[in-house]
Structure 1
């Protein structure tokens, strides 16, 4: 990282209220970042430490900053007692870097390292997490933000990254159950302590009269956040890592697990003023203005990402139904129940291993355009995420849609949405609900592009 990029990164990280300790590999190592995956005691709850699993020994995890069209190299060191991987959520990168065990890479075993290297084609707000033992590894803290800066700096005065997570912990810091069958069958097991970057309702200081970019990243296993705000004219400038063609006022926006939202605003032109962002009626974060007036009058514009345009007139339509599994759950040889609550096209994900890869949900021809019709035939929200591609959300039977690009679409009760994309990235790509308990109990599969 050059000095300018390092200073910009450090300034953005200071918005957390405390500076996460990013561990940079030595230049001679040839890596931009090193992520050490290991247990660590962290202070989240008011009256005791939590035995979390962390990147580089702390929470929040290091914010990784890459740059559009430039390669980034990340070495992952596994110091857990179980295998892991890292998936770079939302990035259109080669399949070998996607971080799905067996489907795209061999798991990183305890004591091993794995080197990820890729060149992000798109700028925006993304995140990273394991794709093994997901309920526990994500639930205990292995989640972090990945920011891809634009090739040309758009010129915001402050860039604040905020990871939203409900922790399954008691006041003394000990963990409660990360999942229960009763809740996995429904919306998922809720956490008890709502946090932003590991803090409850933090306050961040932003320059008076400055142009502010607030990046919200839903790194929670379960919660769909209902975002609103007051104190300034808040504008949605980007959804799920992709700038929107026509920024619009933030009135209310639902963010399912895995989803992101970039909100821009001109801070009040008087020091000491506050701007608040809410989840429903609960305060998520407060911004307070400090310093001399920057006298900004309008937000910088963000360039659109170079997403291929699907040929809608000639696109093949494939339908997917997301439903409950009404069958009797099988009992394993050890007597444990193998819970299977959810299905895609009446097929529940049963897992995979090095020698047992199930058939794909669909086989797509490379370079061809497709329209997926996604039908949520249940009463619960499902944020449906597709790896390796960015799609265009076209329409919904429940809401008026102005088409936008995304990698995760939130389906409400009995909602049917249509998404379109060009299948231009070869490989076997996971395709699943990002409520982690849903994917672990059946709501997952993959598509193959060849």
Structure 2
């Protein structure tokens, strides 16, 4: 397996998943299902003999409360902003109406301190999704504002346990405090802000206690600002059954590694076929120079859950996504440029061309199609014809990996670096290698202005965000 380990600049191919919803619900005066209060909090991220960490949290939980609804149900969530800065909630991966997407100055006004905003929409697709701010997201997500949203299938597969793992990392000082260096130029211009403490569900992970022949559905969500996770389940064959919430043909992951860039999710089936009393490692091996033990799988020494191993891995029912017509699609190109060791000489910024040395003064060192963003309320980079199929070729002209995320629509990943992608998964995020390419396809069936951006959040700070208009 060592031959396939990644360095921080050379990554394995990876696909993501993507989502959308087109029917705007009617608002009413009915009470919300949930209230998310964004506020300062204190969290015990480190072991109990270490200091607690001042964080920001939704409803005094790190990560925020797991929201669960059934496919096709209506979700009503009231955001209450008790921070000292504006915020929003973006429902990452969900196909929802434009007004509910949580993008400041594009779909809504930022929610000011002391104010509230009601999110109200139908969840059309089953799957694993998450929510987070889209204002000052590098700091707000990095301080703990994120949570899981699970949209359950009408007929979910039979498992013994359905577990959500929110994967994150934190940059902490020795006193347990989050380092206040979210404007660090090195992070913005290089690979993003990586932490020194890795957590599962907001804590240093403890062993996963299992019983022989148990079947577990793990919903893996990478909410980190920049870290890519590559999980190897030692002596176990895990099967991926969904990517970014969207069902996929069950398969073992390439190189026996579940690879998740920031923003991506994967649902996997873990069949616990080890011997009673045994222990096995879960190794995070995405980076060759930083492979580490995430946690252990520890088997109960007692009787198995059932006499025989579980049977065939279940296949999830597809979500109602429109299949792109590849033969009659409109074609588009997006080029990523900039960053340290890049060749970008300049870019359009605030409506005029600036050379790179002037861009750097404003920490704008990334561009999409030659434009470095200074706001989310921008003229569109691309215009998509409503109802038409579209094929986008994304070229990464930099040495760093970029997980590119599109709001409002699901896309199929057709190829990466010129090679077809197995299973052509639906995705909302696609990970591009340094100097890599990806070809994606979608039906533009959700009108509005939708963000397309890197989910390394420091790169968004540095200008790597844009608008795709569907009209």
Which TM class, normalised by the smaller chain length?
A: 0.7 to 0.9
Q: 2:410 aligns with which of 369, 390, 412?
A: 390
> Alpha-carbon deviation of 1:383?
0.2
Aligned residue pairs, count: 415
Quick check: 1:48–1:171 contact (8 Å CA) kept in 2? Answer: no
What is the root-mean-square deviation of aligned Cα atoms in Å? 1.9
Please say if 1:433 is aligned against 2:445.
no
Instruction: Give the structure 2 partner of residue 20 of structure 1.
Output: none
> Which of 437, 443, 448 pairs up with 1:416?
437
**Cα deviations across residues 52-87 of structure 1 (Å, max 9, x unaligned)?**
100111212211112111111111111111110000
- 1:232 deviates by 2.0
- Which 10-residue stretch deviates more, 148-157 or 130-139? 148-157
Q: Which digits, 9 at most, give the CA deviation of each residue in 1:174-204, with x for residues without a partner?
A: 1222341122111012211111112223223
Secondary structure class of the residue paired with 2:52: strand
Partner of 2:311: 297
| Cα shift at 1:248 | 2.9
| Stretches of structure 2 lacking an aligned partner (at least 5 in a row) | 1-28, 286-290, 339-343, 346-354
User: Where does the alignment leave 5 or more consecutive residues of structure 1 unmatched?
Assistant: 1-27
Give the Cα–Cα distance (whole angstroms) in 2 for the partners of residues 116 and 275 of structure 1: 42
Per-residue deviation, 1:288: 3.1
Question: 1:135-167, CA deviations, whole angstroms, 9 ceiling, x for partnerless residues?
Answer: 110110001111111121221111111111110
Please give the residue correspondences for 1:58-207 in structure 2 after superposition, counting only pairs within 5 Å.
Answer: 58-176=61-179, 177-207=181-211
| Alignment CA distance shift 1:310-1:52 (3 Å) | same
Q: String of CA shifts for 1:390-442, please: whole Å, max 9, x gaps.
A: 10000122654121110000000111110000000011101000000101111
Q: Say if 1:266 and 1:298, in contact at 8 Å, map to a contact too.
A: no
Conserved in 1, the CA contact under 8 Å of 2:250 and 2:314? no
TM normalised by structure 2 equals: 0.84
Task: Measure the CA separation in 2 of the matches of 1:328 and 1:269.
Answer: 56
Change (3 A) 1:119 1:377: same
Contact 1:361/1:445 (<8 A) preserved: yes
| Counterpart residue number, 2:36 | 35
Q: Give the whole-Å Cα distance in 1 for the aligned partners of 2:401 and 2:333.
A: 18
TM, length-normalised to structure 1: 0.88
- 8 Å CA contact 1:76–1:115 kept in 2: the answer is yes
Question: 8 Å contact 1:341–1:442 — kept in the other structure?
Answer: yes
**Contact 2:329/2:391 (<8 A) preserved:** yes
Is 2:214–2:304's contact at 8 Å kept on the other side of the alignment?
no
Aligned to 1:341: 365
Once residues 367 and 275 of structure 1 are traced to their aligned partners in structure 2, the CA distance between those partners, rounded to angstroms, is: 49
Deviations 1:324-371 (A, max 9, x none): 04333548xxxx94211100011111115xxxx321011111100000
Aligned to 2:468: 447
Higher RCO (Cα < 8 Å, 6 or more apart): 2
